[in-house]
Structure 1
Amino acid sequence: MAVLALVVLISTGCGQPPQGGQGGGGESGSGETTGSETTGSETTAQEELKPGEGSLVVYSGRSEELVGPIFEQFEERSGIDVQVRYGDTAELAATILEEGENSPADLFFAQDPGALGALDDEGRLTRLPDDILGKVPSRFKADDGDWVGTSGRARVVAYNTEELAEGDLPDSIFDFTDPKWEGKIGWAPTNGSFQAFVTALRVLEGEDRAREWLEGVQANDPFVYPDNLSAVEGVASGEVQVAFVNHYYLFQVKEERGDDLPAANYYLGGGDPGALVLAAGAGVLDTAANPEAGREFLEFALSDEAQQYFADETYEYPLTEGVEINDELPPLSEVQGPEVDLSNLDDLGGTLELLQETGAL
């Protein structure tokens, strides 16, 4: 029943173009925005995947723009033929569940831990070797060792610096339900990291308060964006004053439009849920035709070379020791996010249901 519920929720919710709010801000969900994670309707039709010895089949909820170079580097060094199906993280998780034993995927590379947890709950991931798990802090891997984080990302409030000063922003994500923010907020409810944040809100604060927050923001008529990148662009253009996003999208927009972009990241403090630190990560499927290749890729993804790529090219936080972060980022130790076990962010179905009930999806 859990599998069926997740598949139905994905197909009727996240697979639809974003609705509601006062604008669509940016490109529609039918095409991938450069540098962004994919949205619900972006799973692409590609050549037939051919699993087996000498190949690695990956279902990737991380976009080709962001992680394609990592797959290319791994392919060159290992001699393993990497075949990738890109799409929305939650949608791909549902696809794996629906495919069952017939899934061609060896590795699931997710934008957030929620989708990994959903698969793990169904017994679809296998325990990783200790030498892989030991490379990252305990908070960035599954309690049972079935998935591991590959890079870190902090939830922030991006804000327009021409309209607001940092002192104008509230101390808590809950304060954005105040009517004074009506028409000034942007969000991307189909985004996997946003959904993981809502799941964390449910875990940390309870179902009722999470619902109250969603309904409160909805009452403020937020602009709905197809992805985080277009939400930051909406902030920079003045379409909205604030947006709830991952930290690194600001730097991607600056790369395209220049450092004088009138936007900045605001990091909430005091353990507020709005400062949640998530991890992109991956796990090897129980039906993998070539699980060894999946594990070999994870070893590469946690190598100094790959971790430095995430730091330098995608502006994310490396998760292994000895790799320098981008000098434009605050150290991860200074990000005052809430203490939450990422393994507990596994009720993706419950979050999607709540988002639909509150009209966010």
Structure 2
Amino acid sequence: MRFRSFSGSFRAFWAIAGVIISILSVSLLPSTTSAQESLVVYSGRSKELVQPIFDKFSEKHGIQVQVRYGKTSQLAATLLEEGPRSPADVFFSQNAGALGALESEGILEALPNNLLNRVEERFRSKANKWIGVTGRARVVAYSSKRLSKNDLPKSILEFTNPKWKGRIGWPPTNASFQAFITGMRVALGDEATEAWLRGILANEPKSYPKNTPIIEAIAKGEIDVGFVNHYYLYRFKAERGPDFPVENYYLSGSDVGALVNVAGVGILKSSKNKEAALKLIDFLTSEEAQKYFAEATYEYPLVKGVKANQALPPIEDIDTPNIDLSDLSDLENTLKLLRKVGVL
């Protein structure tokens, strides 16, 4: 199975623990009356972010949403282990790769075209098994004090040039970064991806645990550029003002560095509440919910006609690489490659 990055006894531990925890977590959730519809959602998106939108859905439709929160990779592995025994009706994933893993195992229900057609084809399953809710663009964040856009290369691949030695920041343990590397493997192959990783390592990049400290490090002058998701910068500008000395550089020309990953949802084939589950997906892709995500996170709303935050370039202008996002499921071999070259 391609998706699972756990190995040996560690993978077995998570599989067994996941099933036990899922049974306990759902049993401890508030009970519902027989007259009230309810849904069980496994959410890789944080409670702080999505609980308000679940509450709005419940208020609107009278359907109680029972949520198990956790890391996307662990929840996906649990769903694979639970199979048809799973209490989950809906999986809300932080990234497309996890949805692709479930799709490849045949445990997701096909979604109707009237829902799927709300988003561009590049942001949904080609097999109609999941749909993107919001988009997260990969960018090169850079110091606006020390650089201009004209100083930056046209491709992410060109950051192996020795002139960038000691000037790059990246987050090797971050899930979004690892999904980006998986996308590079899909687009360019393992050999070219390994060569790029070794080229960046030769430039002595500084490693950070996640995206936020990379933006901070650029502002402080520790590094000049960083490989991150687009929305972290806008959070800084909202807090510190428009003069915060960092900007985003969006690569063009279908460059692999212009990958847009999605947070998305799918319905489990084993769900006994598919009608209610469809109502939830309908709500998540409604104008109301899309505007909420755009305002709360600076992520891209994916439903056609809903505008992103005015600070962002239109998603239609981002020339993404020709990648089936479901193929981002092969995290295991990405982790092997990152360990092989010494990034992890």
TM-score (norm 1): 0.83
Are residues 46 and 157 of structure 1, via their aligned partners in 2, closer, same or farther at CA, if it must alter by over 3 Å? farther
| Distance in 2 between residues matched to 1:9 and 1:192, nearest whole Å | 21
Q: Do structure 1's residue 238 and structure 2's residue 238 form an aligned pair?
A: no
SS at match of 1:245: strand
SS at match of 2:129: coil
- The residue that corresponds to 2:18 in the other structure is none
Greater helix share, structure number: 2
Question: How far is the alpha carbon of 1:215 from its aligned partner?
Answer: 2.1
| Distance in 1 between residues matched to 2:72 and 2:173, nearest whole Å | 10
The answer to whether the Cα contact below 8 Å between 1:46 and 1:85 also exists between their aligned partners in 2 is no
SS at match of 2:7: helix
- The residue that corresponds to 2:262 in the other structure is 279
Are residues 182 and 157 of structure 1, via their aligned partners in 2, closer, same or farther at CA, if it must alter by over 3 Å? same
- The residue that corresponds to 1:153 in the other structure is 136
| Distance in 1 between residues matched to 2:205 and 2:44, nearest whole Å | 25
Q: 1:317 aligns with which of 300, 303, 326?
A: 300
| Distance in 2 between residues matched to 1:9 and 1:175, nearest whole Å | 38
| Distance in 2 between residues matched to 1:11 and 1:329, nearest whole Å | 41
The answer to whether the Cα contact below 8 Å between 1:235 and 1:243 also exists between their aligned partners in 2 is yes
The answer to whether the Cα contact below 8 Å between 2:99 and 2:329 also exists between their aligned partners in 1 is yes
Q: 2:279 aligns with which of 276, 296, 317?
A: 296
Amino acid at match of 1:7: F
The answer to whether the Cα contact below 8 Å between 2:101 and 2:326 also exists between their aligned partners in 1 is no
| Distance in 2 between residues matched to 1:103 and 1:233, nearest whole Å | 41
| Distance in 2 between residues matched to 1:279 and 1:291, nearest whole Å | 23
Q: Do structure 1's residue 97 and structure 2's residue 74 form an aligned pair?
A: no
| Distance in 2 between residues matched to 1:210 and 1:259, nearest whole Å | 36
* Deviation by residue 1:100-158 (Cα, 9 ceiling, x = unmatched): 34433222111221111011111221111222112112111111111001112211001
- The residue that corresponds to 1:251 in the other structure is 234
Question: How far is the alpha carbon of 1:180 from its aligned partner?
Answer: 2.7
Q: 2:328 aligns with which of 342, 345, 349?
A: 345
| Distance in 2 between residues matched to 1:54 and 1:280, nearest whole Å | 25
The answer to whether the Cα contact below 8 Å between 2:138 and 2:227 also exists between their aligned partners in 1 is yes
Question: How far is the alpha carbon of 1:304 from its aligned partner?
Answer: 0.8
Question: How far is the alpha carbon of 1:301 from its aligned partner?
Answer: 0.6
Q: Do structure 1's residue 191 and structure 2's residue 174 form an aligned pair?
A: yes
The answer to whether the Cα contact below 8 Å between 1:90 and 1:192 also exists between their aligned partners in 2 is no
Q: 2:107 aligns with which of 121, 124, 133?
A: 124
The answer to whether the Cα contact below 8 Å between 2:254 and 2:321 also exists between their aligned partners in 1 is yes
Amino acid at match of 1:121: S
Q: Do structure 1's residue 8 and structure 2's residue 19 form an aligned pair?
A: no
Structural RMSD (CA): 2.7
Amino acid at match of 2:26: L
Are residues 225 and 207 of structure 1, via their aligned partners in 2, closer, same or farther at CA, if it must alter by over 3 Å? same
Are residues 282 and 190 of structure 1, via their aligned partners in 2, closer, same or farther at CA, if it must alter by over 3 Å? farther
| Distance in 1 between residues matched to 2:305 and 2:253, nearest whole Å | 27
Unaligned runs of 5+ in 1: 16-43
Question: How far is the alpha carbon of 1:211 from its aligned partner?
Answer: 1.2
Are residues 106 and 171 of structure 1, via their aligned partners in 2, closer, same or farther at CA, if it must alter by over 3 Å? same
Between the two proteins, the alignment pairs up a number of residues equal to 330
Are residues 276 and 180 of structure 1, via their aligned partners in 2, closer, same or farther at CA, if it must alter by over 3 Å? same
* Greater shift in the superposed pair: 304-313 or 260-269: 304-313
Q: 1:223 aligns with which of 194, 198, 206?
A: 206
* Deviation by residue 1:188-216 (Cα, 9 ceiling, x = unmatched): 23333322221221121111001111222
Question: How far is the alpha carbon of 1:289 from its aligned partner?
Answer: 4.3
Are residues 88 and 185 of structure 1, via their aligned partners in 2, closer, same or farther at CA, if it must alter by over 3 Å? farther
- The residue that corresponds to 1:326 in the other structure is 309
Q: State the identity %.
A: 52
Computing the radius of gyration from Cα coordinates, the structure with the larger value is 2
* Greater shift in the superposed pair: 344-353 or 195-204: 344-353
The answer to whether the Cα contact below 8 Å between 1:106 and 1:290 also exists between their aligned partners in 2 is yes
- The residue that corresponds to 2:149 in the other structure is 166
TM-score (norm 2): 0.86
The answer to whether the Cα contact below 8 Å between 2:2 and 2:101 also exists between their aligned partners in 1 is no
